[in-house]
């Protein structure tokens, strides 16, 4: 059980981040939810988790494209035994048409935020005498696809950052690992469907099976609960000697 531990999950008001937060709370951890918005419904998500699992849950607004805000998220949390870097955005375009502002935003949110939060969290983990850094990378942290230059570059960067964090904490009771999901049906993926339908001139179901899940041999989306379960495993004693590595939850994508 993770009772007494505090997990901070970036980008956790929807999708994988929210699913991981719920599994952390189910395992007994207190949780800090985050996104860049500050709506009643964001805070309500934290209240629901607290009521459902009997843990402390808070929502803290912080924009993960902003270095200072990333660091402030950790200091405002007051405690961070488990850091889950999950915030991420996507944009699909060929390199020669890729908007520079999208490139910069993807690198900032998907990669640099993990550097800033880890820098702020490591001293807290050291003083607590235990810590887990879990970066939600992607199958695109290990392989590439056309039209996703910024995302693929950022996710490969996350895997590299994870290895470096692991080496810098190797002799301490702290581990750093990356989870590499294949396709998980979340708002981020949902938003890619219309563009991909247009690009391939296909209907929704056809684009899902033939294009999106083309590289996922299981032909099934992974679920947010499965990703949460993987994150909980990385916090268990069984995983104490796993560090600096990647765990693929991708239906066989990276075996191809
Ligand atoms: P999502 O859009 O549902 O969630 C993204 C989260 O990040 C949201 O909570 C959003 O509010 C938050 N976010 C976006 N910009 C932010 C910012 N500037 N500051 C703070 N929070 C911000 O998408 P998702 O699919 O759940 O993606 C979560 C992570 O999983 C991402 O890093 C994504 O790259 C990764 N991933 C997703 C899939 C998939 O198939 N869905 C596959 C591999 C990896």
CATH number at residue 97: 3.40.50.720
Confidence of residue 189 (pLDDT cuts 50, 70, 90): confident
Q: What's the pLDDT tens digit per position in 203-241?
A: 999 999 999 899 999 998 999 999 999 999 999 999 999
Give the integer Cα–Cα distance in Å for 32 and 38. 14
**Same structural domain for residues 203 and 104?**
no
**Same structural domain for residues 213 and 117?**
no
Answer yes or no: is 1 within a domain.
no
Average pLDDT over residues 188-216: 91
Answer yes or no: is 256 within a domain.
no
- Answer yes or no: are the C-beta atoms of 82 and 134 closer than 8 Å: yes
**Same structural domain for residues 179 and 200?**
no
DSSP code at position 108: I
Point out the least confidently predicted range of 97-101, 161-165, 217-221.
Answer: 217-221
Residues 6+ apart with CB under 8 A from 1: 27, 28
**Same structural domain for residues 89 and 206?**
no
Q: Which of 34, 83, 187, 188 to mutate to test the pocket of ligand 1 (most atoms within 8 A of CB)?
A: 188
Average pLDDT over residues 130-150: 98
**Same structural domain for residues 78 and 44?**
yes
Answer yes or no: is 82 within a domain.
yes
Please, which residues bridge with residue 59 across strands? 33
% helix, strand, coil for the chain, step of 5: 50, 15, 35
Answer yes or no: is 255 within a domain.
no
Answer yes or no: is 14 within a domain.
yes
**Same structural domain for residues 135 and 202?**
no
Range of the domain at 201: 185-221
The pLDDT assigned to 187 comes to 79
**Same structural domain for residues 103 and 192?**
no
Q: Is the ipTM of this complex over 0.95?
A: yes
Give the integer Cα–Cα distance in Å for 65 and 131. 24
Six-digit token string for 187: 């708002």
Point out the least confidently predicted range of 161-175, 182-196, 211-225.
Answer: 182-196
**Same structural domain for residues 82 and 139?**
yes
The pLDDT assigned to 243 comes to 99
**Same structural domain for residues 73 and 189?**
no
Ligand 1: which atom is nearest the Cα of residue 137?
44
Surface-to-core class of residue 28, CB atoms within 10 Å of its CB (0-12 exposed, 13-18 middle, 19+ buried): middle
Q: How far is the CA of 171 from the centre of ligand 1 (A)?
A: 31
Strand order in the sheet with 246-249: 57-61, 30-35, 6-9, 82-85, 131-136, 174-181, 246-249
Instruction: Give the count of domains, the chain.
Output: 2
Ligand 1: which atom is nearest the Cα of residue 110?
32
Give the integer Cα–Cα distance in Å for 24 and 6. 9
**Same structural domain for residues 75 and 22?**
yes
Q: What is the largest CA-CA distance in the chain?
A: 55
**Same structural domain for residues 39 and 165?**
yes
Is 151 known to be catalytic? yes
- Answer yes or no: are the C-beta atoms of 95 and 149 closer than 8 Å: yes
**Same structural domain for residues 120 and 212?**
no
Answer yes or no: is 167 within a domain.
yes
Query: Average per-residue pLDDT in the chain?
Result: 97
């Amino acid at each position: 059980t993770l009772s007494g531990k505090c997990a901070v999950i970036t980008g956790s008001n929807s999708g994988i981040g929210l699913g991981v937060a719920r599994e952390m709370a189910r395992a007994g951890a207190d949780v800090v939810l985050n996104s860049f918005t500050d709506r009643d419904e964001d805070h309500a998500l934290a209240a629901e988790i607290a009521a459902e699992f009997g843990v402390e849950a808070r929502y803290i607004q912080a924009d993960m494209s902003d270095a200072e805000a990333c660091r402030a998220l950790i200091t405002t949390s007051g405690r961070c035994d488990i850091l889950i870097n999950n915030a991420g955005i996507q944009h699909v375009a060929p390199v020669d048409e890729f908007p520079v502002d999208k490139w910069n935003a993807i690198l900032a949110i998907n990669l640099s935020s993990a550097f800033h939060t880890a820098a702020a969290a490591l001293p807290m983990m050291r003083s607590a005498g235990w810590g887990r850094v879990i970066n939600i990378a992607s199958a695109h942290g290990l392989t590439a696809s056309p039209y996703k230059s910024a995302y693929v570059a950022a996710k490969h960067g996350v895997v590299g950052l994870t290895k470096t964090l692991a080496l810098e904490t190797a002799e301490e009771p702290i581990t750093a690992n990356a989870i590499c999901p294949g396709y998980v049906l979340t708002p981020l993926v949902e938003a890619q469907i219309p563009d991909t339908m247009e690009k391939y001139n296909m209907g929704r179901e056809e684009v899902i099976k033939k294009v999106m899940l083309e590289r996922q041999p299981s032909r099934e989306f992974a679920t947010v609960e499965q990703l949460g379960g993987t994150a909980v495993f990385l916090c268990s004693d069984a995983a104490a000697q796993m560090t600096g590595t990647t765990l693929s939850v991708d239906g066989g994508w990276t075996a191809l």
